Copies of this chain bind each other. A is one copy, B any other.
Amino acid sequence: MKKFINDPDSFVDEVIEGILAVHSDALRAASDDSRAIVRADAPIANQVGIVTGGGSGHLPVFLGYVGQGLCTGVAIGNVFSSPSSDQVLAATRESNGGAGVLFVYGNYGGDVLNFDDAAELAEEEGITVRTVLVADDVTSAPADRRDDRRGVAGLAFAYKVAGAAAAQGATLDEVAEAVEHLNANMGSMGVGLSPTILPAAGEPTFTLDEGEMEIGIGIHGERGVRRGPLDPADSIADELFATISDDLGLSSGDSIAVLVNGLGATPLEELYILARRVSQRCNAGGIILERTYVGEYATSLEMAGASLTVVRLDDRIRHLLAQPASSPFVGAML
């Protein structure tokens, strides 16, 4: 295990300690175990609170998106495992500024169970909660079962849209509707080139032969749609872009934003090789590529690989994506 680590069992808690030590001006713990974290200035009075969370190992997802114009609070589970409902509840309490709380997180079974429990508990305490699941991975279920899809790097845009709407004073229902609108116009797809190792397990989550890739992989190493020999970068970019493009029904004249996301070990250089090709495809297809985000927005520990997220832009999404946002992790990136 080529990891900087002390004890696998304290991995997540030490990461959080480090983050709180470095970013004490921006973040604070909202529970004794520090597994619930909120903006230092939370709750924001009369603003809808945005709470997210999920398993660890995906930085800057989830904790990195707590900030101004983004999420208000987060609950952090063990590596690749959901936080508990108590942890979600703790984040919810301290994120509630009186205008209700929106849960925005990726569609994973364990998270849904625990967030739903937390929502019930919060409602019992008089906090109004709504939930919008992010389900952007187009290969994880066909279009007629969109809601079954898992949530991947599109989370970044969901946080931006939710946080921007909340900062502008939208109501809980309006913020939820904005994220749902984004969801309907967003698709992602990933490709993995090497596995990750969970610190507590010490073994790779899957194996790929030298020179193999897994097309359609999830951010926990979930199987994709196809495993095969590693294609040239341009073919891979073409396959990801065409698949998402079909799913969204993009056509000439449409405006989009694109995120080329690194899964962890892949150098930034290679992400730009993919971005280059996407830009070429858009030019060739008459699609207006208004903005390209390149970098690590949702990772899977040290997995080599990348994902592509495409958002179809309309005035509403464009406006929300253009709002200022800042967090210790992704300030200038979003």
Contacts and interface: CB of A to CB of B under 8 A. Distances in A.
Interface in A174-210: 193-194, 210
Nearest to A79: B269
Contacts of A332: 326, 331-333
Contact of A18 (B17, B193, B273): B273
Q: Which of A2, A264, A273, A277 has the most CB of B within 10 A?
A: A2
Interface in A260-292: 264-277, 279, 292
Interface residues of A, number: 55
B2 A267 contact: no
Interface string A308-334: 000000000000000000100101110
A302 interface: yes
A212 to B, nearest CB: 9
Contact of A294 (B22, B194, B271, B306): B22
Interface stretch (A56-64, A93-101, A135-143): A56-64
Contacts of A264: 265, 267
A31 B331 CA distance: 32
A225 interface: no
A234 B1 CA distance: 16
A139 to B, nearest CB: 18
A5 interface: yes
A269 B267 CA distance: 17
A161 B239 CA distance: 43
A21 interface: yes
A233 B4 contact: yes
A228 to B, nearest CB: 14
Contacts of A126: none
Interface in A1-60: 1-6, 11, 14-15, 17-19, 21-22, 56-57, 59-60
A302 B304 contact: yes
A277 B21 CA distance: 10
A84 interface: no
Contacts of A275: 18, 21-22
A6 B274 CA distance: 10
Contacts of A299: 267-268
A56 B268 CA distance: 11
A301 interface: yes
A22 B59 contact: no
A112 interface: no
28 contacts: A4-B233, A4-B271, A4-B274, A5-B232, A5-B233, A6-B232, A6-B234, A6-B273, A11-B269, A11-B273, A14-B272, A14-B276, A15-B270, A15-B273, A17-B276, A19-B272, A21-B292, A22-B272, A22-B275, A22-B279, A22-B292, A22-B294, A57-B267, A59-B267, A59-B268, A267-B301, A268-B299, A302-B304
